[in-house]
Chains A and B, each alone.
Chain A
């Protein structure tokens, strides 16, 4: 049983078919990049993984569970923007990741103290200690995205979904964010799905790169046929497959 399994998923809006026959599995700890032309349905796929939308047909399960009907703490998410709460300070944004699940949405007493301590650790981890009391609007784009990622991870989701998380950042900041994300990944062994428009980024960060595209074109009506996964690249070892074949089959070295 795979950790995440997507079986024959379809999605349509009205009579427009967006996705069809999407099947893919991912193992725990895998980093899956998703690329494809604009408007082909990458965000739609991510929204279904997130359970913000239900598939028109098919199943999506995490560790064999049923297809979820609404977003929950199993799935963390970072969007290109609006991923943090503008009316909460940086620290309160992190605390919200623990407090929001309680009855009244905030922690009290000892639980609050412990959460505050963990929030401070996370702040140090994401390099935002010096702005703990500020509001997100006064942060740079890169800092806001670091906060958003830190907030998502604080909730300890099973899978982390990223929709063009670095799309609005300048190239330099984007490179820093790559290092930041890779470090976090090494520490947490997160399972990640990331949509991006940057192929280089997709191959650099991902273990796999999924390409979404329409398999066929209907010349009469392009809306009839939805996109699906047309390629599934192994992106480890710089995109060159079988680099670790000797680890798996040492006997080959002898010959």
Chain B
């Protein structure tokens, strides 16, 4: 039988999916053990048990000075920036994507501009953003917006143009105005795509967020990681990394679930 036709059965598939995680965990434990055996003071690869302890402390014990649990503060600050940036980007890309996809005038005016914009390396703009928007929340949100909006806009515009011309003509024969075509024909058909764009962009959004927080901030997940780096607090860094990964995963899962619930027509053909 050909390799391409060999499929894992259900319980086997779950096990297979778990394998890389287990391998990673075991490899880390062994490496950490080896380093700690050689030098019990080693900070580079703390034992999993140490990380768990640290994690528990970070999640539950308030800071001595501020009496707040820093991890939750950081999480709230970072999520607000991330969701703000991604939300604004989604709204902008939807408006401009629909305009570029549907209106020849908007396409002639904007499509080149957006294409060029998407080539600008956003992180290179970070100093400018700090100068223009200050070191506060705004510059971080703007970095995310600048970083992911052009790509999402281009993709959505393309999706709008991919809607069969027949449908657009049909809507016109039913008396639909440009506005109704945008709102009732194009918009509902690209919404699922918008959600998948957001899912795809979240990785970059996190990257931009953590970069901006690392450079200038006084609260936030990225800020904390780069702060404790000075003390080589690997256990804290790893806890934060795992926590960020978990947050990213949950957000992605939520979006996927929403998409599947909200757009039953996408799957009607399956």
Please give the residue numbers on chain A whose beta carbons come within 8 Å of chain B beta carbons, in ascending order. 50, 52, 70-73, 75-77, 79, 81-89, 96-97, 99-106, 134-138, 151-152, 155, 157
Contacts and interface: CB of A to CB of B under 8 A. Distances in A.
9 contacts: A72-B173, A81-B166, A83-B166, A83-B170, A84-B170, A86-B189, A89-B265, A100-B175, A137-B268
Given A100-B174, A155-B174, 5 more contacts: A73-B173, A85-B167, A86-B265, A137-B268, A155-B173
Contacts of B167: 82-83, 85
Contacts, number: 86
A105 B173 contact: no
A101 B166 contact: no
B166 A71 contact: no
A96 B179 CA distance: 14
Contact of A72 (B172, B183, B185, B263): B172
Interface of B: 164, 166-167, 169-177, 179-180, 183-185, 188-189, 263-265, 268-269
B174 A96 contact: yes
A107 B86 CA distance: 33
Contacts of A100: 171, 174-176, 180, 184
A73 B177 CA distance: 11
A151 B166 CA distance: 14
Output the residue of B174, B177, B189 with the most chain A CB within 10 A: B174
A132 B179 CA distance: 27
B188 A77 contact: no
Nearest to B264: A135
Nearest to A134: B268
Contacts of A89: 265
Given A82-B164, A138-B268, A104 B173 contact: no
B267 to A, nearest CB: 8
Contacts of B172: 70-72
A180 B85 CA distance: 54
A105 B184 contact: yes
B176 A135 contact: no
Nearest to A79: B166
A100 B167 CA distance: 13
B183 A50 contact: no
Contacts of A75: 173
A99 B177 CA distance: 11
Contacts of B184: 96, 99-100, 105-106
Given A82-B164, A87-B265, A96-B184, A101 B173 contact: no
Contact of A87 (B176, B180, B188): B188
Output the residue of A105, A137, A152 with the most chain B CB within 10 A: A105
A70 B104 CA distance: 15
A247 B23 CA distance: 91
Contacts of B166: 79, 81-83
A103 B176 CA distance: 9
Nearest to B189: A87
Contacts of A134: 268
B83 to A, nearest CB: 27
Contacts of A73: 173-175
B180 A76 contact: no
A139 to B, nearest CB: 9
Given A82-B167, A83-B166, A105 B176 contact: yes
Contact of B175 (A72, A87, A88, A135): A72
A171 to B, nearest CB: 24
The 10 closest A-B pairs by CB, nearest first: A101-B175, A137-B269, A105-B180, A135-B268, A82-B164, A71-B172, A82-B166, A100-B176, A105-B184, A135-B265
Output the residue of A70, A106, A136, A137 with the most chain B CB within 10 A: A137
